[in-house]
Amino acid sequence: MNIGILGLPYSGKTTVVKYLAMQSNAGIREQNNALYTTLTFPDKRMEILKENEDLIKTTLPHFYIFEPNGAVENAHTLSRIKTAQALFIVLRNFPFQGVDPEPVKDFERINHLILEKDRGIIKKQIETLKNSLLKAKFKKDRDDIEHTITILEKMEEFALSKPLRDMEEIHVHKGIYTGLGLLSAYPALIILSSSESTYKQNNIIFSLPHVELLPDWELEKRKLSKEEIKEFSVSFSLPEEDLFYKLNEKFWNAFSLQVFYTVKKEDTRAWLISKGTQALEASGVIHTDIEKGFIKAEIISWQDYIKAGSIARAKPFMRLEDKDYIMKDGDIANFRFKV
Ligand SMILES: Nc1nc2c(ncn2[C@@H]2O[C@H](COP(=O)(O)OP(=O)(O)O)[C@@H](O)[C@H]2O)c(=O)[nH]1
Ligand SMILES: [Mg+2]
């Protein structure tokens, strides 16, 4: 999954990229005028599985993070960020060159820029479609185009006042908004980038989920001794523990994601799916052949696994589920299929 980093210039985006890279023990790459890194989260359930089942190799989901180099409204930035499936919106909450932070105002500015851009894209697309309507020979094609125009007109109106992600049933039109790169529809999480002087100073409310982090401080911390960290933390009322866990807590709900596990000694994996995904689609995340030949899903819920303490002892709790079973977070799955 790709996550694009969006924010005003000097809001701390690159610092966030470095911070996420450090947390995930990943490198940073610069290519095509963008910075790239990989984000992974510690997974307590995987730790438990590893211990209980004596696993040799485990794999967690990777999130590909990229920061296009350029201003939000810049065409390059927008065409690049369009390829993301979700956004981190970085807001400056540290004084920079004598300028006090105004994260709420910055957020409004970003929203405004994105909405304006979205309306422009929609308008242009409606024009294009109206032209092709004149040329379409078959009724079926004309109906399809007219249907899309109706949706776009609704979007255009909605985007006059609110981001498209607030529109009812917007997920149904995912093909449209990702195709056109209508960023106000993309799921987003705010990273409030704070410093020692602003951390937890004000209770800021946003219309999106947000997490307050100390990216610069935590990068600095790596260079300090335990005593220095302690001294600094006390004098500036900063948390001694790393705040990365907060991102982990917010992330999954903000993007409506969860995992299921497939357990094999040599190769145990956590697979990324959206909340509400059915067993059939989940099986296809592993391999399309499994989806094509799907028979049943053998499911052990995470709660049952914990009660039993091992896969072997959890066998009596195993349920056989059909294609339309809605996967639960942490399910341990084995899909029966024919080739
Ligand atoms: N005090 C402080 N400075 C920061 C913080 N994050 C970034 N900076 C500084 O702000 C400037 C811009 O940061 P950068 O990450 O390059 O921002 P970008 O332009 O959004 O990528 C740099 O000089 C950083 O060192 C922070 O949390 N606290
Ligand atoms: Mg940068």
Candidate from 13, 14, 15, 89 with most ligand 1 atoms within 8 A of CB, to mutate: 15
* Residue 10 and residue 91 in one domain: yes
Do 195 and 226 reside in the same domain of the chain? yes
Q: How far is the CA of 25 from the centre of ligand 2 (A)?
A: 20
Pocket mutation for ligand 1, best pick of 10, 90, 223 (most atoms within 8 Å of C-beta): 10
Ligand closest to 218 (CA) is 1
Residue keyed to tokens 């709900």:
253
Residue 217 domain flag: yes
In a domain, 174, yes or no: yes
Q: Tell whether the model's pLDDT for residue 73 goes beyond 80.
A: no
For 205-249, what is each residue's pLDDT tens digit? 899 999 999 999 999 999 999 999 999 899 988 988 889 999 999
**CATH number of the domain where residue 315 is located:** 3.10.20.30
Same structural domain, 223 and 323: no
Query: Is the domain of 84 the same as that of 215?
Result: yes
Which ligand sits nearest to residue 217's alpha carbon?
Answer: 1
Residue 72 reports pLDDT greater than 90: no
Identify whether residues 175 and 276 lie together within a single domain.
Answer: no
**Domain-ending residue, one of 202, 222, 254:** 254
Ligand 1-lining residues (CB < 6 angstroms): 7, 9-15, 94, 96, 193, 195, 215-216
Going from the Cα of 286 to the center of ligand 2, the distance in angstroms, rounded, reads: 35
Closest atom, ligand 1, to C-alpha of 9: 19
49: in domain = no
Residue 50 lies in a domain: no
Q: Is residue 200 part of a domain?
A: yes
Question: What span, in angstroms and rounded, lies between the C-alpha atoms of 231 and 221?
Answer: 12
Q: Are 149 and 273 in the same domain?
A: no
Our count of domains for the chain comes to 3
Per-residue pLDDT at 202 exceeds 80: no
Q: What is the pLDDT of residues 255-270, one digit of tens each?
A: 999 999 999 999 999 9
Q: Of 182, 214, 246, which closes a domain?
A: 182
Nearest CA to ligand 1 atom 5: 216
- Ligand 1 atom index nearest CA of 194: 27
pTM of the model: 0.94
Q: Which residues of 43-73 are buried (b: 16+ CB within 10 A; e: fewer)?
A: bebbeebeebbebeebebbebbbbbbbbebe
Q: In this structure, are 332 and 266 located in the same domain?
A: yes
Residue 281, pLDDT score: 98
Q: How far apart are the CA of 85 and the centre of ligand 1, in A? A: 25
Atom number of ligand 1 nearest to Cα 17: 15
In a shared domain, residues 146 and 273: no
- Based on the fold, state whether residues 121 and 234 are members of the same structural domain: no
Nearest to 327 by CA among 268, 271, 265, 289: 271
Residue 51 lies in a domain: no
Q: Categorize the per-residue pLDDT at 280 as very low, low, confident or very high, splitting at 50, 70 and 90.
A: very high
Backbone torsion region of residue 269, taken as left when φ is above 0, otherwise alpha when ψ lies between -120 and 50, otherwise beta: beta
Q: Is 77 exposed, middle or buried (0-12, 13-18, 19+ CB in 10 A)?
A: buried
For residue 54, is it within any domain? no
Asked if residue 162 belongs to a domain, the reply is yes
Boundary (domain end) residue, out of 182, 215, 241: 182
Mean pLDDT: which of 150-159, 197-206, 225-234 is highest?
150-159
**Lowest mean pLDDT, pick from 70-79, 213-222, 276-285:** 70-79
Ligand number with the minimum distance to the CA of 18: 1
**197 shares a domain with 116:** no
75 pLDDT more than 80: no
Residues 230 and 273 reside in one and the same domain:
no
Asked whether residue 74 falls in the same domain as residue 117, the answer is: no
CA distance 321 to 228: 55
**pLDDT 10s digits, 281-319:** 999 999 999 999 999 999 999 999 999 999 999 999 999
Domain limits at 140? 104-182
